[in-house]
Amino acid sequence: MQPLENIRVLDLSRVYAAPAGSMILGDLGAEVIRIEHPDGSDSMRDWGPFIEGQSTYYLCANRNKKSITLDLKTESGRTEFKELVKDADIVLENFKTGDMKKMGLSYDVLKEINPRLIHCAVTGFGQTGPLAYEPGFDPVVQAMSGLMDVTGPIDGEPTKVGIPIADILTSHYVAISALSALRMRDLTNQGQFIDLALLDVQISSLANVASAYLNAGMVSKRLGNSHNNVAPYQVFQCADGPLMVCAGNDRQFEKLCVMLGHEEWINDPRYKSNTGRKENEEELVRQISDIMVTRTREEWVEELRHYKIPGGCVNTIEEALTQPQVIARDLIGEIEHPQYGKVKFVKNPMQRSGLNIVYQSAPPILGEHTDQFLLSKRV
């Protein structure tokens, strides 16, 4: 048994944020039906690299789903969709604000067909505000949210995160808001409309950076791999490459001093408190750097673990996906697809007793299940 058995999701979305959200629901047992235009409407299918003609980008967000094709700009397509809505629990879409209304498929229309329906709309900027009708893409949101301004080298240009972080965070909120709406429906027997915006999500994820400005007027600076509030808390170069070290409190710093053979730093007024360490960070980091570069990463990792100081190698993607901890956690899975063979993927990270996440199917090819669901195809 899975927690979302008997929940049906009609997924009209494209690219990453919303499809990755519906994939989480599919992992939890929901029946997720991707609905695309017959000519294909997801540009992610065109982004390489490819295996057997299938985009690896598309593969990372669409397992445990079925695929049908409908042209919602036609009367027949809208009629078919409305039939599917009758038995659906969730409609997920990321059309530009107003597009569903133009097609005659707004929440006001759909809830008349199914009052228990949960409609989740994902856009760049939400359903209200001066930018409501503008398209929003992950890098643009990273820029507008201030994230890029606090990311990158001290003397370099603002830098986007190496993954589509605004999309990824939004996908989590898709799942959270859908689950909470389902729970509310248990109590009220009514569906609801969910308005999710990438910019809202990324602004809410500024965490301590936002709090520092809102409460203390502090505008955080771009510090490369250092930290705005804590020291030493950064990357150090070792004899064979970079290593992240995080002495997050005074006790951990004391242990770091012992590890480095500089117990005198513990009571040094410049370094005794985190405030002092931040004020004298340049000199402290220089001294630590001179020591760290004398040994290899693995030698230092062994020392860090001995002293219980948080730290780890700055891995390449290959190193990250093949490290013993990832293998031990069984995070890499494989699904067989009859058309393009074996598909490897990173598993859902939720691990707990009784959750029972099942990887039933590889990401579908366009329209693979159309005949199974559409009335016109079954006649």
250 in catalytic set: no
Instruction: Tell me the CA distances in angstroms from 81 to 9, 14, 90, 110, 327, one per residue in order.
Output: 12, 17, 13, 10, 43
The rounded distance, in Å, linking the Cα atoms of 362 and 60 is: 10
Please state the φ and ψ torsions of residue 197, each to the nearest 5 degrees: -120, 135
Q: Helix (H, G, I), strand (E, B), or coil: what is residue 35?
A: strand
Q: Helix (H, G, I), strand (E, B), or coil: what is residue 311?
A: strand
**Residue in 167, 250, 290, 330 annotated catalytic:** 167
Q: Pick from 364, 332, 333: which is nearest to 22 by CA?
A: 364
The number of CA neighbours under 13 Å toward the Cβ of 37 is 11
Q: The dihedral of CA 198, 204, 207, 209: what is its sign?
A: positive
Instruction: Tell me the CA distances in angstroms from 193 to 95, 107, 122, 177, 370, one per residue in order.
Output: 14, 7, 11, 10, 27
Which residues are catalytically annotated? 167
